[in-house]
Structure 1
Amino acid sequence: MENFYLESTPKTPRLSFNNDNGIFEISGRSIPENSIEFYKPLLDWLDQYVKEPKKETLLIVKLEYFNTSSSKCLVEIFRKLEKAQKDSKQIAIKWYYDEEDEDMQESGEDFKEIIKIPIEMLVLKEEE
């Protein structure tokens, strides 16, 4: 299975989903004109990934900002990864946020309450 990669733009995040090592990253800003259309290829890719996930999968989220429709797509990504937790597969999410960005911190905390995947909240360091 091929890796999934999209470079970021001013309105869309960088999507780096590495099938070889099970390390996935979403970073940047997510305010696409049509979030569902933007995320559909990734969601389709995840449908294939969860059929044969790696023993350990890590999703790193380093978003500066995302709109409401993007948050719905993020939940969909998390839900697909929840399906991969069967057969002793380990899924984890690292949610990075700027220390002064209470909105991003609260968003991560909100996701923790609705998602059945451990979400580790981490303050973004300057060099990251």
Structure 2
Amino acid sequence: MESLKIEKTLNTPFVHLDPDTGKLEIKGRSVPENPLEFYTPINDWLERFKAQAAERVLSLDVELEYFNTSSSKCLLDVFKKIAQLKASGAAVEINWWCEEFDDDMIEAGKDYQDLLENITFNIRIIAEQ
């Protein structure tokens, strides 16, 4: 299975999904003009990965500086796909990275954490330097 890599733009995050390492990354800003169009390849990749998910370790790092309401629904869909991978036998975790004084992103992470009780969802704080 091939990895998926989407380069960052002004309105979309960097995405890298690597089947060999089980490392997934979504980083940047998510305000795409058409969020469904942007997030569909990610969900499709995760669906294909499900066939080899058994006994795999999968770690998703999400580090967004900002995302809009329509992206929030698409992100939840991605997180639900990750939960399905767990049901297929993978050990999964989601790391929600946010800066220590970004109360909005911390709160968003807590909201996702509450919605996804059956998987490991870590809120990771990036300390200001």
Instruction: Please state which band the TM-score falls in when normalised by the shorter chain.
Output: over 0.9
- Runs of 4+ displaced beyond 3 Å: none
Give the match's secondary structure for 1:85.
Answer: helix
Q: 1:87 to 1:41 in 2, by over 3 A?
A: closer
CA contact (8 A) 2:59 2:94 kept: yes
Q: 1:93 and 2:94 equivalent?
A: yes
CA contact (8 A) 1:3 1:17 kept: yes
Please give the alpha-carbon distance, in whole angstroms, between the structure 1 residues aligned to 2:88 and 2:73.
27
Backbone CA RMSD of aligned residues: 1.4
Please give the alpha-carbon distance, in whole angstroms, between the structure 1 residues aligned to 2:109 and 2:45.
24
Cα offset for 1:88? 4.1
Give the match's secondary structure for 1:29.
Answer: strand
CA contact (8 A) 1:26 1:62 kept: yes
Structure 1: which amino acid aligns with 2:13?
Answer: P
Q: So what's the TM-score if we normalise by structure 2?
A: 0.93
| Per-residue deviation, residues 54-106 of structure 1 (Å, max 9, x unmatched) | 61100001000000111101110011111111354210011110111100000
How many residue pairs get matched? 127
Q: Which moved more, 1:44-53 or 1:13-22?
A: 44-53
Cα offset for 1:125? 3.9
| Per-residue deviation, residues 93-127 of structure 1 (Å, max 9, x unmatched) | 11110111100000000000111211111111458
Please list every run of 5 or more consecutive structure 2 residues that lacks an aligned counterpart in the other structure: none
Structure 2: which amino acid aligns with 1:11?
Answer: N
CA contact (8 A) 2:95 2:123 kept: yes
Q: 1:126 to 1:7 in 2, by over 3 A?
A: farther
Give matches, 1:64-83, under 5 Å: 64-83=65-84
CA contact (8 A) 1:97 1:122 kept: yes
Structure 2: which amino acid aligns with 1:113?
Answer: D
CA contact (8 A) 2:50 2:88 kept: no
